[in-house]
Structure 1
Amino acid sequence: MEMFWELVLGASLLTVAICLTKLLLVKTHIRRFRGQLERLREDDTREIVKISLVDRELERLAVEVNEVITHLRQLHIDAKNNEHDLKIQIANMSHDLKTPLVAVKGYVQLLQRDRVSPDEASGYLQIIAEKADVLSRLVGNFFELSIIDSDDYQVDVGKLDINASLTNVALTFYTSFAERDIEPEMDLPDRAVYAWANDIAFERIMHNLIENAILYTEGKIWLSLNDRGHSVVVTVSNEITNPSALDPDQLFKRSYRADQARHSSHSGLGLYIVKTLAEKMNATVRANLSDGFFSISIILTSDT
């Protein structure tokens, strides 16, 4: 009997010793863990916290902490990128607004001269009116962007006849096509084609795409609508002579400016608005450069 209690006592002491040893190891690793976190906070290194195979819960804690660290680092990177993009956008906005304003001021000064013929005055006033339209479009784009770029801005989608909507938008550009001597080629079905979309957002998207094509085409413009059963694809294409000026992978960024756009009165925000509105409708936007043609496609979910 005495031997039994000695065995029990020995086992108990061994168990206590093991528990104390494990506790000391856990405390040691917790101190190391805390030290690693302090170094990460102070030095902003790219390391992660590490822990030896001592306790499963500590291992899980280390994994969770590393995931939080990775997430925070990504947020920091995103914030830096957004700050950089914002600075570029402000510079672009300044340039975009300054260009037509300088032009208007110059032509107003010409009108103030004593020797200005009626024909010259009429021409100057026409240019001033055009520059005022440019300013109006720029301000409208900036205002629209400030609204739709918010996470709180949502659009309701429903069954929409894409064919009819696209045709209506194209018709509003009749005068613009005529002024540029453009006869757009339209490949549209002779029936209604339905998809899930928001009528206002879709028409704004098509307006921006057609306007962009008119501004930068070097010849023809194509509008096409393809019903693929599970999806509906709307494509706007135009000829270009300088493909190297465009970067399809960057086109839809808020701060992107093509080389050719830098010297124009176009703000460059139109395609960013297209992408933002498309995403609000759960649609996809794709850009493509091929054989001297630039195309942008909107892929919508079919109603079928």
Structure 2
Amino acid sequence: MIALLLLLILVLLIILFSQQNRLRSRSREMRYVHYKLNAILDQQTQERLLLVSSDPRIRELLIDLNRLLDVNHRGIVERARLESSMRNMLANMSHDLKTPLTVVLGCSEMLQRSDLPEGEQQQIIQSIHRKSMETIGLVNAFFDLAKLESGDAAPDMSRVELGELCRRNMLSFYDLLDHQGTEVHIELPEEKVHIMGNTEALDRILSNLISNSIRYGLDGAVLGLRLYTDAEYAHIEVWDRGKGIAESHQDQVFERLYTLEDSRNRTYQGSGLGLTITKRLTEQMNGRIALTSQPYVRTAFTVSFRKMSY
């Protein structure tokens, strides 16, 4: 009887000792997690919590904490990218606004001279008006992009026929293209193609894409627009045979204020926001935009939307 009692006491002591060891081990592991986690967050390193533990709950906690660290690291990288993008955007915006405003200031100073011929005064006034409108256009483009990226209001969607939309937009550029001697190719299907979209947004998308081809691709002297469909989607392709866009630049053309530095057509400059706005508008209507470019052969921007059944 006494031997049995002693054995029971021994078993209890072993259990208590084992539990105490586990508690001490868990305490050490939790202290490691606490200090290591704070060090990673304070120093913003890419380290992760590495700990061999026999406690399944500690292992689960480590897995979850490392997942949170992954999310935190991606957030830090994205924030740094956005801050860099914002700095570049503000610098470019300041430059783009400064240029026309400097012209306006110079012209207004010239007008203060009383000895200017009337004809020259009129030319200066026209230059002031032109540069003022350019500045207003740039400010409006920034405002439009800010509204798009805030996601405050979704566009009103309705049934839109793309063939007529394409014809109307190409016609609006006819005089400019004809004056520059550009050969125009238009390919439209005989049957009507309908999508759910916003007419105003689609007009702006096409206008921006055609303007972009005029701005960067007219050294090829050809501009084309093609509307075609597949089993699910309607595609609008605007293309030219100009110098094209190098592969290293293709991922950047939709960024805010990105412009190709070697733009050939200096009389038809843009703000660098057109393609960014085009991409945002396309995505708002659940579409997608793609770019392919082979210099002096074919540079094409294609927007695609899910087509409607009749």
Q: TM-score range by the shorter chain?
A: 0.7 to 0.9
| 1:14 Cα offset (Å) | 2.9
| 1:242 Cα offset (Å) | 6.3
| 1:123 Cα offset (Å) | 4.5
| 1:121 Cα offset (Å) | 4.8
Match of residue 306 from structure 2: 301
Mapped to 1, the partners of 2:107 and 2:230 lie a distance apart of 52
Match of residue 117 from structure 2: 116
Mapped to 2, the partners of 1:220 and 1:121 lie a distance apart of 39
TM-score of the aligned structures, taking structure 2 as reference length: 0.86
1:174 and 1:110, CA in 2 relative to 1: closer, same or farther beyond 3 A? farther
Mapped to 2, the partners of 1:262 and 1:173 lie a distance apart of 18
Q: How does 1:141-156 map to 2 (within 5 A)?
A: 141-156=141-156
Match of residue 23 from structure 2: 23
| 1:301 Cα offset (Å) | 1.5
Mapped to 1, the partners of 2:258 and 2:97 lie a distance apart of 17
Letter in 1 for 2:237: T
Match of residue 91 from structure 1: 91
Mapped to 2, the partners of 1:51 and 1:158 lie a distance apart of 57
Mapped to 2, the partners of 1:87 and 1:262 lie a distance apart of 27
What 5-or-longer segments of structure 1 have no aligned partner?
Answer: none
SS in 2 for 1:260: coil
Matched, 1:77 2:77: yes
Match of residue 14 from structure 1: 14
Match of residue 280 from structure 1: 284
Structure 2 residue aligned with 1:290, among 283, 289, 294? Answer: 294
| 1:273 Cα offset (Å) | 0.7
Match of residue 59 from structure 2: 59
SS in 2 for 1:300: strand
Letter in 2 for 1:136: I
Preserved CA contact (<8 Å) 1:246 1:259: no
Match of residue 161 from structure 1: 161
Mapped to 1, the partners of 2:124 and 2:28 lie a distance apart of 81
| 1:181 Cα offset (Å) | 3.6
| 1:48 Cα offset (Å) | 0.8
Mapped to 2, the partners of 1:52 and 1:163 lie a distance apart of 65
| 1:193 Cα offset (Å) | 0.6
1:230 and 1:83, CA in 2 relative to 1: closer, same or farther beyond 3 A? same
Mapped to 1, the partners of 2:134 and 2:248 lie a distance apart of 23
Q: CA-atom RMSD, angstroms?
A: 2.7
Preserved CA contact (<8 Å) 2:189 2:227: yes
Structure 2 residue aligned with 1:226, among 225, 228, 231? Answer: 228
Match of residue 235 from structure 1: 237
Preserved CA contact (<8 Å) 2:292 2:300: yes
SS in 1 for 2:69: helix
SS in 1 for 2:262: helix
Aligned length: 303
Preserved CA contact (<8 Å) 1:288 1:296: yes
Letter in 2 for 1:93: M
Matched, 1:268 2:280: no
Please list the CA deviations of residues 106-162 of structure 1 after superposition, one character each: whole Å capped at 9, or x if unmatched: 4445554625363x5554444444333322321221111121111434334443222
TM-score of the aligned structures, taking structure 1 as reference length: 0.88
Mapped to 2, the partners of 1:46 and 1:40 lie a distance apart of 7
Mapped to 2, the partners of 1:81 and 1:50 lie a distance apart of 28
Match of residue 203 from structure 1: 203
SS in 1 for 2:46: coil
1:44 and 1:263, CA in 2 relative to 1: closer, same or farther beyond 3 A? farther
1:2 and 1:156, CA in 2 relative to 1: closer, same or farther beyond 3 A? farther
